[in-house]
Chains A and B, each alone.
Chain A
């Protein structure tokens, strides 16, 4: 699956999430399964559910962690890819320009 860095996402209707200290616990009510996101994963989650694009998430994390943007982009794409595969989030339709 290829995810564009312009892509934005929304939380699936069957998903309920709660922050726990620095982490986020995500419950998929459809399957009854829990998923956990560590501190960095939680920051990605918070931003994408607030409507940020992949590029915006990468920019924010690169600033926060003073780290290599390419590597962060790779990690964010991998995480978001997994969230999509597990149907916890879905890509928003892109408005035609």
Chain B
């Protein structure tokens, strides 16, 4: 990997590939774990520190050891499904390395509507991938990202943010894939080629936090401000470093910059996957995107408090 992050041009989905480390993988015995994701009965993912290394381990998939963005090594477990391995390398591994380099990645999906990137966030199972895939199929939106959304400041003078083109396939759970007409799948999540993958980074237009309303309810979009907007982004912000004050302050500034400059809304809609329900959601989103203000030059707010 280059020592300096490349400019955020989103070039043709090219990903910096974290090199594989020499086997056997280093022992995880003395790692001081600082965050763990628990699934029923097991730790599915954890992040920790050992000496100068940042360490992440995905149960049954592999481990990432890094001292810096340019000094990272990957240790996939033997026999890993190559389809998942490729997604893991391009997605979460890349996102963690970006965080070491001070760059923002959100857990979510993103499409291009009317020339602007619309990012979908939400807890697991709230339909981030489904929503993106449906808008691509129904409105001819271009797919930018599915699972990890890479956001960088636009070049000086342009203002705002760019969302990188990082994914050319939809990653759908079985019921969503079938509801959207993609047929039966063999994997838990199966990549389905997007009809129109975006080829370059696109200006960030809005961030939409997804949730479900009651059955049969009409889609409702409402603006979030201040701490509500902050919380939505904070919960989706991909971090590799949790225990360094400077990094925590840097993350807060990055999130606050997004909140200050990008429209952030919630979209509650019925959980149904029927075509009629999905069409109502797509209509509401399409109308929302076309009503977004155009060409506003965002302003950064100066920090206060710690540096009065």
Contacts and interface: CB of A to CB of B under 8 A. Distances in A.
Contacts, number: 78
B303 A49 contact: no
Interface residues of B, number: 22
Interface stretch (B97-105, B165-173, B176-184, B223-231): B223-231
A34 B234 contact: yes
B225 A22 contact: yes
B22 interface: no
A30 to B, nearest CB: 7
Q: Which of A15, A17, A18, A32 has the most CB of B within 10 A?
A: A18
Interface stretch (B85-93, B212-220, B242-250, B287-295): B242-250
A24 B230 CA distance: 10
Nearest to B260: A20
A26 interface: yes
Q: Which of B245, B260, B306 has the most CB of A within 10 A?
A: B306
B253 A36 contact: no
A15 B248 contact: no
Contacts of B141: none
A15 B252 CA distance: 11
A20 B230 contact: yes
B301 interface: yes
Size range of the chain A interface in the assembly: 20 to 34
A18 B308 contact: no
Contact of A15 (B234, B253, B305): B305
A25 interface: yes
A23 interface: yes
Interface string A14-40: 111111111111110110101010000
A68 interface: no
A19 B249 contact: no
B305 A29 contact: no
B226 A36 contact: yes
A51 B304 CA distance: 13
Contacts of A14: 245
B259 interface: yes
B285 interface: no
A50 interface: yes
A82 interface: no
Given A16-B248, A27-B248, 11 more contacts: A17-B303, A17-B305, A18-B256, A18-B301, A18-B304, A20-B227, A20-B260, A23-B226, A25-B226, A29-B245, A51-B308
12 contacts: A11-B305, A16-B253, A18-B256, A18-B303, A20-B226, A21-B229, A22-B226, A23-B226, A24-B304, A25-B256, A34-B230, A46-B304
Interface of B: 225-227, 229-230, 234, 242-243, 245, 248-249, 252-253, 256, 259-260, 301, 303-306, 308
